[in-house]
A and B are shown apart, each in its own frame.
Chain A
Amino acid sequence: MLNSLQDLYHIIPLLIVSGGILVSIIVEMYSKDSEKILFALSILVFGAAGLFSLYSVNNVSILFNGMLATGGNVNVFSFIFNIGAFIVTLLSADYIRKYGTYYGEYYIILQSSVLGMMLMAGAKDLFIIFIGLELMSISFYVLAGLNRKRYNANEASLKYFLLGAFATGFIVYGIGLIYGTAQTTSIDILTVRFPQLTGNLLFLAGVLLFLVGFTFKIAAFPFHMWVPDVYQGSPTVVAGLFSTGGKAAAFSAILVTLAALFNGNVGSLFTPYLIFVSALSMIYGSIVAISQDDIKRMLAYSSISHAGYLAIGLAAGNSEGTAGIIFYLAAYSFMNLGAFGIVALIEGENETNLSIASYAGLAKRNPALAALLSIFMFSLSGIPPFAGFFGKYYVFFAAIKSGLTWLALIGILSSVISVYFYLRIVVLMYFKDQGEEVIPSKSAMGMVGVVLSAILVVLLGVFPGSIINLISSFL
């Protein structure tokens, strides 16, 4: 329902992306050379939406009869999604041609998935979360199997679709039980009614099912089995989007629901579940990643362990935890996209050069790429001057503050384990001679994307205080 033009002003980032999708469809219909035009259009759309989200970050308001929130951390999330997709688009420019998918539709589906993420972050109603989730997930299933002639891509797409649909089933069942017991799907009304519902087993089962479904979507421990296969089979740049945008969107939905349900005190009843998920994801991801030879599988297990670090912030259940998660997600998105971007540049045709051994001696042949990949690996393992360190610092700090010191200790321990497999690549690049000649593909756009993510990783690492203050001021 359109109440006034003022409402439209607040949802400009959403309007930019949805308008971009419609214009892209028209371009795709009438243009012979749609792929180039749609690339430029996606760059414009994501850039404009991301920058406008940051510009209008102070316009905090609730629109459409309490269905959608804008401003504040919603816009911070929107910035992460759009700039992330901006980088993915830059990386895709030459990659999707190398991968053999010269389709203009790629950019339309990319934009749809970002629209879904933005809806999830802004949701004030369980239905909006569900619509956003479906829009994002269905776009992801298609993106995973973009090249239908490849065996691995088909496997990834089918696995992702079947398991993802199953997880969505859990979420819908959870929403159903919540609606049945609380007689509302509005998150604000749920917050008000929550004190009377704490003893209602059906309601608690609903919230638990909702959480279980989202544990799948964030790729955390008991529901992580799909992650390595899907990341390995899908196009590398798209896997970068799954592991950053998809994870960030799922976390934004969990934060919106849990923070509102428990009135800022996220954990309480579900703290044991969140601790279980977080501790086991961290340990499992870090240990299994050591034995991986394929770099995409290694990054997939690293993504599982990062879901664990992020879940520490949920288990801590205080506002420091929430702010820490949002900062961590921003840092993680850019460093992981950068790492996936370099993997996409190194990757040859027909999924070659994906083993870790391909990186031996890269520093001699291409010092710039080696230096950039080192930045991302140091940041992912959490070594100080970069953003990854401060992300971990804030969630560990939140855990200690709410008395979960041992969980923070497990986090530190698994970070130490993870240093081994992240720095192994750095060691290979700088101190080993090349085994086989691996020539990274020449892609100016791809390099711009990787450099942009490196700049963001360094910036977030240099000015963490002002950014965390901005995030905390909206909580």
Chain B
Amino acid sequence: MIIEYIPIFVVLIVAIGFAVATVLSSGIFGPQRPNSEKLSTYESGMTPVGSTNERVSVKYYLVAMLFIIFDIEVIFVYPWAVQFQNLFGEIGISAFISMFIFLVVLELGYLYVYKKGGFKWD
């Protein structure tokens, strides 16, 4: 029932408390020497103000796509690894073989990208 959710609320309060405490304490105790560079909006290293209609190198999209692939790999492999003992007890060696085939297919794609020069930045 509701009592089971109390740890979640505790974590929530600690998380919010930590965030508020760090922001406040750095505001109170930190040195205040502002300049124009520091006061400008920070946006992942890009210039935050200006035309949005700029050309972006296609290399960034390649990185983003590759990231998604390996992100999904982790999503598949992690639960499998956690539950492997149970799975192995239930369906035997095919628990291993299924993931092995998945990884072979994925790594083949990885090798393909490598051979085609997908990781070369210049």
A residues apposed to B, CB below 8 Å: 1-2, 22, 25-26, 28-30
Contacts and interface: CB of A to CB of B under 8 A. Distances in A.
A28 B97 CA distance: 26
A22 B105 contact: yes
B112 interface: yes
Given A1-B91, A2-B94, A26-B108, 4 more contacts: A25-B112, A29-B112, A29-B116, A30-B115
Contacts of A2: 94, 97-98
Contacts of A22: 105, 108
B111 interface: yes
A450 to B, nearest CB: 33
Contacts of B112: 25, 28-29
Contacts of B108: 22, 25-26
Chain B residues touching A, majority SS: helix
Interface in B80-99: 91, 94, 97-98
Given A1-B91, A22-B105, A22-B108, A29 B98 contact: no
B48 interface: no
B105 A29 contact: no
A1 B109 CA distance: 23
8 contacts: A2-B97, A22-B105, A22-B108, A25-B112, A26-B108, A28-B112, A29-B116, A30-B115
The 4 closest A-B pairs by CB, nearest first: A2-B94, A29-B115, A25-B112, A29-B112
Interface in B93-122: 94, 97-98, 105, 108-109, 111-112, 115-116
A26 B97 CA distance: 21
Interface of B: 91, 94, 97-98, 105, 108-109, 111-112, 115-116
A94 to B, nearest CB: 25
Contacts of B94: 1-2
A2 B111 CA distance: 27
B23 to A, nearest CB: 39
Nearest to B95: A1
A2 B95 CA distance: 9
A29 B115 CA distance: 6
Nearest to A4: B94
A22 B111 CA distance: 12
Contacts of A30: 115
A1 B111 contact: no
Nearest to B111: A29
B57 to A, nearest CB: 16
Contacts of A1: 91, 94, 98
A26 B105 CA distance: 11
B98 to A, nearest CB: 7
A22 B112 CA distance: 10
A2 B87 CA distance: 13
B109 A25 contact: yes
Contacts of B97: 2
Contacts of B105: 22
A28 B91 CA distance: 36
A30 B112 CA distance: 9
Contacts of A25: 108-109, 112
B111 to A, nearest CB: 7
B29 to A, nearest CB: 51
Contacts of B111: 29
A29 to B, nearest CB: 4
Contacts of B109: 25
Nearest to A21: B105
